[in-house]
């Protein structure tokens, strides 16, 4: 499982892994009646924290009309909350509410399975994995920014 030959299809393994993650995310969202854009916004909020409808819409590639309605949907479904901005009364802050309950629930089986996998590693191995998670997350976040900058 770690011979030089097997390292050759590292790319394939990695693509397969990414596909599985994406597939699962999508399937979970669909099971919660969450559209693609709504899921995108939730991921954005999870990753970057609370932001105004303006920037949220811009980063999701939406004009203001759809942005308002998307936030309406997310708020009604309990994923998000609108708070007036303290320093500018025109603005609104959209913040994710803890963990989206419904989504969390749907993802539980996968999380437990992954947890099982992770518990099979030694502390040193876990250090490697979480080091990777941290750095890869930042790399992907950065890549999204760049994509958004040069369309």
Partner DNA sequence: AGATTTCTCTTCCTTAAAGAAGAGATTATG
Partner DNA sequence: CATAATCTCTTCTTTAAGGAAGAGAAATCT
List residues near DNA by CB under 7 A. 35-38, 52-54, 61-73, 82, 88-92
**Angle of helix 64-76 versus helix 53-60 axis, rounded to 10:** 110
**# residues contacting a second copy (CB under 8 A):** 65
Q: Which does 101 bind (CB under 5 to 8 A by kind): DNA, a second copy, none?
A: none
**Binding status of residue 128 toward a second copy by CB under 8 A:** yes
**Binding status of residue 105 toward a second copy by CB under 8 A:** no
Do residues 57 and 148 make contact, with C-beta atoms less than 8 angstroms apart?
no
CA angle 36, 130, 122 (to 5 degrees): 130
**Binding status of residue 31 toward a second copy by CB under 8 A:** yes
In the chain, the N- to C-terminal Cα span, in Å, equals: 39
Minimum distance of DNA from residue 60's CB (angstroms): 7
């Amino acid at each position: 499982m770690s011979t030089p030959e097997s390292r050759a299809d590292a790319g394939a393994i990695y693509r397969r892994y990414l596909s599985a993650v994406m597939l699962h995310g999508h399937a979970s969202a669909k099971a919660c009646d969450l559209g693609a854009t709504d899921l995108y916004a939730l991921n954005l909020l999870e990753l970057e924290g609370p932001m105004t409808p303006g920037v949220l819409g811009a980063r999701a590639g939406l004009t203001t009309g759809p942005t308002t309605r998307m936030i309406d949907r997310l708020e009604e479904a309990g994923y998000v909350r609108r708070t007036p901005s303290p320093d500018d009364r025109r603005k609104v802050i959209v913040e994710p509410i803890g963990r989206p309950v419904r989504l969390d629930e749907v993802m539980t089986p996968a999380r437990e399975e992954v947890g099982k996998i992770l518990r099979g590693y030694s502390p040193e191995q876990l250090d490697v994995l979480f080091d990777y998670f941290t750095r890869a997350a930042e790399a992907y976040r950065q890549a999204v920014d760049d994509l958004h900058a040069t369309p």
